[in-house]
Amino acid sequence: MIWGVLQFPGSCDERDALHACLLAGGEARLVWHEERDLGGLDAIVVPGGFSYGDYLRAGAIARFSPAMEAVAEFAAAGGPVLGICNGFQVLCEAGLLPGALLRNENLRFVCRQVELIAAFGGPETPKSCDRPGESLSIPVKHGEGRYWAPEEMLDEIEARGQVAFRYAPGQNPNGSARDVAGVRNEAGNVLGLMPHPEHAVDELTGSTDGLKIFEGMR
Amino acid sequence: MSAKHRELGLTDAEFELIVEKLGREPNDVELAMFSLLWSEHCAYKHSRKLLRRLPTEGERVVMGPGENAGAVDVGGGYAVAFKVESHNHPSAVEPFQGAATGVGGILRDVFALGARPIAILDSLRFGELDSLRSRHLLDGAVRGIGHYGNSIGVPTVGGEICFEAPYEHNCLVNAMCVGLAKQEEMVRAAAAGVGNAVVLMGASTGRDGIGGASVLASAELGDGDEAKRPTVQIGDPFEESKLLECCLELLAKGLLVSLQDLGAAGLTSSASEMASAGGVGIEIDVARVPLREPGMEPFEIMVSESQERMLAVVEPAKVDAVLAVCEKWQTGGAAVGTITEDGTVRVLREGETVGEMPVEALVDGCPLYDLAPEEPAGWIYGNRATLGPDASPAETLPALLASPSVASKRWAFEQYDSIVGSRTARRPESAGAAVLAIPETGNAIAVSIDGNGRRVACDPHAGTVEAVLECAQNLACVGAEPLGLTNCLNFGNPEKPAPAWQLDRAVSGLAEACEALGVPVVGGNVSLYNEGPEGPVYPTPVVGMVGELPDPTQTAPSAFAREGDAIALLGPFEPSLAGSELAKLRGELDKGLPEPDVPAVAAACAAIREAVRAGKVVSAHDVSDGGLACALAEAAIGAGLGCRVDLQHLRERGCTPQEALFGEGTGGFLLSGDRAALESLATEDVAVLYLGEVGGESIEIAAGDQSLTVPLTAAEAAWRSLGERVERGA
């Protein structure tokens, strides 16, 4: 299995994601934002950080990069894509995931360990997170992480089982609608979440619950 | 003689000396450059003689004072670079950008050596929270630090925030950065190689920050601070992240002869200091500097403090390769000058000379001044009581826990990314110091930043010794041995007798403590003129220390862990109310502080270090602000478990119940764990006092007629009250 982790000017957590991919199993390499060739890659990770300095809006410029154009094709063909934090923002800007990420309710950046509930189940779910209700301890660190979509869209997303993770009761750090922490596309191969599973892969630096999310992509 | 030089901060005598050294009067470009390099901020006129007292050498020192940052050997061919710097005056005028660019500047100092920044820490001081101005400065500074550090992807792993009335007008913002480098890839700042090219990299040069060093950092703040706003620099962390990657790639490829960051006084100081260090001359053609706006004068280009720029010396054959790497990282790159052999700094505009000065005159020609210190007769800072004299111990403990300097700073540190980079083994508030894993070498480092203003005001010598010991104690709690120290000295106007005396005594204290502990000073910063209409700030030495530990999985948290664990106090702790938080709340601050017993504290640190490394303690917490009662409360709150202790053994050392509860001083380590294991740590030189046990839902402390019981929930509510007070108005 070969993972590809995108790297934009301003990405911060790409090396952390690379390390997490290696721990989950397989090989991994960085994909520079100007590359179009994703040949040989089995899964793509769009990492966290401040791509292009969050100029205009978080993720607004990265979505136009050559690498992201290639990722859109990869996803349309059913390839697995994981977007983390800024990566989630990029995927929403690119229209590969529904909804948008707005400024945190309290208007401040927040870095905190939170409890997530894996909110989906069924045959298309990633293997390791297929127990709905499973609780994961994963850190968040963002200033624009408040998930939002119009009420009707939220109803549809929920009805189709596209909500992948919710913050556990009382743990919502940013005012996200319906406590949504992560969503999938309809086809189920693109997953985006605001919390950082790549920072939950080693007991020394936190929990290891994040590994399950990477393993579920294999 | 025109008065222009006075407007730029030079005295008449200094101006005459410049005329003598040049053999003529300086033109406008030359005057501007001299005014900056001869400012207090750049030249250290009043402190340089004092700083010669500091011990700077040691086996593990790879780079000492004089380089962009200091560095120590951590084994495996790697070095850890670190330094602390102040950005006090800009932050008092514009806190968001002042703090942000403070972080940006210290990051550049570290990667200018070729070290990849891996951690940031900040020491912040403001007036009391009930002042709108202080809440505004606190909010701006925290947001600014978060903005810069988070965007560039370097974790902010530690720090401190303190609130005292003397900082009302002059806040303190000290930023520290730690970086990691392979020793063979490190580079020095000295320019070398006559005929080599001088390349300017990074952001374009504009009019921001002009005169920042001379106008802002070297003078007292007063009315009309708003007019100084253009002198505050504007930061762009995205620009710096590109510049950082560019520089590290250039160094890894061996393309640079030397590298220097542009900070205070911009091109003027970088170019001159590089030339001075290398014993060469330097020529800069301002027409080749990429500009942000048209029509800039040569002097503006030379003194601009636009951020996110670096200056490099490059062999002519490698210039194209250097510019290609800049292009790849989408950051600016331009060959702007040459290294010469005539010992002159020459400024050209399109080939025509517009300024010419001897390097030596600019960089080393500034007169150094002796201080005229005079010890003040009494306590010069005033008192303000907020706690009544009849407050019971059970009322006093929550009042101390809620005191903003003591209270949890979670409101602030949750605004910082403390985990990017995957090295953070101990996050903020979980242990005495931050711990960062170094998988490259297999061991780990610990970092702490600790300052002291109020206690240094009580006695500058003893107070400064305490600040150094406090830092060492914090490192010991995570099993780390100090490798080196950096310091920022934040004081008032050195031309006035009381601040001069404070500075003189503090530097002596710093030198003696470092000498006694065997910890070299590898770099630092001095910020003077922190003074407003009401007088000087508390004399505030801020100490940053880096230590090493063999195994990042063997560190101790501060909080208790298990019901039933024994609680003990280790070390030569002799609490006193002098200079304490309680004395402050009661309005009873005065001169005088007991002199710490450095060898005894050092022995206790060594004992704790070994105990933590061997896994013999479950938790270790240094006793500091608020005394032992607060340390107990903090360890309990962190665990969600109460405690039942008796301070009788401590009182037998000869302190009153109040002193035992709330007295402060160095040499106190609060431990929890297996009773036999804790008591086995006692030796001839190191005392261990059994205090009690972890358990229950209250903090119960028996202390004669001052015994107290405070429910854990009430203690926690007090300790976690800072955020609400900041957001809603104290």
Q: Tell me if residue A196 is catalytic.
A: yes
Q: By C-alpha distance, which of B108, B180, B54 is closest to B523?
A: B54
Domains of chain B as residue ranges with CATH: 10-364 (3.90.650.10), 557-730 (3.90.650.10)
Q: How far apart are CA B657 and CA A165, in angstroms?
A: 53
Under the banding of pLDDT at 50, 70 and 90, the label for residue A69 is very high
Under the banding of pLDDT at 50, 70 and 90, the label for residue B2 is low
Each residue's pLDDT tens digit, A180-210: 999 999 999 999 999 999 999 999 999 999 9
Among B237, B239, B553, beta carbon nearest to A204 = B553
Return the pLDDT at B234.
87
Residue B510 confidence (pLDDT) above 70: yes
Residue B152 confidence (pLDDT) above 90: yes
Under the banding of pLDDT at 50, 70 and 90, the label for residue B170 is very high
Chain B residue with the nearest C-alpha to that of A207: B425
Residue A121 confidence (pLDDT) above 90: no
Under the banding of pLDDT at 50, 70 and 90, the label for residue A124 is very low
Share of chain A above pLDDT 70, in %: 94
What counts of helices (H) and strands (E) characterise chain B? 26, 28
DSSP output for B646-674: E-HHHHTTT--HHHHHH-B-SS-EEEEE-
**What is the token pair recorded at A165?**
């993770």
| Residue from B118, B150, B438, B724 to probe the interface with A (highest A Cβ count within 10 Å) | B150
A199 contacts in chain B (CB < 8 Å): 419-420, 422
Residue range A155-169: mean pLDDT, rounded: 94
Residue range B357-364: mean pLDDT, rounded: 95
Each residue's pLDDT tens digit, B217-250: 666 766 556 555 566 788 999 999 999 999 999 9
Residue A129 confidence (pLDDT) above 70: no
Q: How far apart are CA B674 and CA B730, in angstroms?
A: 42
Asked if B420 lies within 8 A of A206 by C-beta distance, the reply is no
3-state helix, strand, coil in chain B (%, to 5): 35, 25, 40
Neighbours of B339 (CB within 10 A): 23
Q: How far apart are CA B20 and CA B354, in angstroms?
A: 19
At B245, give phi and psi (nearest 5°): -60, -40
Asked if A9 lies within 8 A of B151 by C-beta distance, the reply is no
- Tell me how many domains chain A contains: 1
**What is the token pair recorded at B223?**
């009315």
Q: Do A194 and A20 meet the contact criterion of CB atoms below 8 Å apart?
A: no
Distance from CA of B129 to the nearest CA of A (A): 20
Q: Tell me if residue A198 is catalytic.
A: yes
* Single-letter amino acid, residue B692: G
Return the pLDDT at A127.
47
Chains A & B: contacts with CB separation below 8 Å: 80
Sorted by sequence, the CB contacts under 8 Å of residue A79 that are 6+ apart come out as: A41, A42, A43, A44, A189
Return the pLDDT at B729.
81
In this predicted structure, which of A90-94, B207-211, B700-704 has the lowest mean pLDDT? B207-211
Share of chain B above pLDDT 70, in %: 97
Q: Which residue has the tokens 């609680």?
A: B567
In this predicted structure, which of A120-129, B245-254, B661-670 has the lowest mean pLDDT? A120-129
Q: What do you get for the CA distance between the two ends of chain A, in Å?
A: 8
Residue A125 confidence (pLDDT) above 90: no
Under the banding of pLDDT at 50, 70 and 90, the label for residue A44 is very high
What element of type H or E holds B635? helix B627-639
Return the pLDDT at A128.
47
Q: By C-alpha distance, which of B141, B191, B196, B134 is closest to B165?
A: B134
Return the pLDDT at B208.
80
Under the banding of pLDDT at 50, 70 and 90, the label for residue A131 is low
Residue range B418-442: mean pLDDT, rounded: 97
Neighbours of A36 (CB within 10 A): 14
Instruction: Give the CATH number for residue A85.
Output: 3.40.50.880
- HEC-encoded secondary structure of B157-196: EEEEEEECHHHCCCCEEEEEEEEEEEHHHCCCCCCCCCCC
Residue range B300-310: mean pLDDT, rounded: 95
Residue B291 confidence (pLDDT) above 50: yes
Residue A122 confidence (pLDDT) above 50: no
Return the pLDDT at A132.
66
Residue B631 confidence (pLDDT) above 70: yes
Distance from CA of B423 to the nearest CA of A (A): 7
Q: How far apart are CA B234 and CA B308, in angstroms?
A: 10
Show the domain range for A11: 2-215
B382: left (phi over 0), alpha (psi -120 to 50) or beta: left
Each residue's pLDDT tens digit, B59-80: 999 999 989 999 999 999 999 9
Q: Do A197 and A84 meet the contact criterion of CB atoms below 8 Å apart?
A: yes
Helix (H, G, I), strand (E, B) or coil at B570: strand
Q: Do B152 and B110 meet the contact criterion of CB atoms below 8 Å apart?
A: no
Residue A164 confidence (pLDDT) above 90: yes
Residue A130 confidence (pLDDT) above 70: no
**Higher-confidence residue: B197 or A216?**
B197
Q: How far apart are CA B297 and CA B299, in angstroms?
A: 5
Return the pLDDT at B3.
82
Return the pLDDT at B36.
92
Residue range B398-415: mean pLDDT, rounded: 98
Residue range B302-316: mean pLDDT, rounded: 96
Return the pLDDT at A123.
44
**Higher-confidence residue: B7 or A202?**
A202
Asked if B421 lies within 8 A of A54 by C-beta distance, the reply is no
Asked if B437 lies within 8 A of A204 by C-beta distance, the reply is yes
Return the pLDDT at B344.
97
Q: Tell me if residue A124 is catalytic.
A: no
A54 contacts in chain B (CB < 8 Å): 151, 238
Chain A residue with the nearest C-alpha to that of B436: A205
* Single-letter amino acid, residue B371: L
Return the pLDDT at B215.
58
Q: Do B672 and B567 meet the contact criterion of CB atoms below 8 Å apart?
A: yes
Return the pLDDT at B222.
67
Return the pLDDT at B75.
96
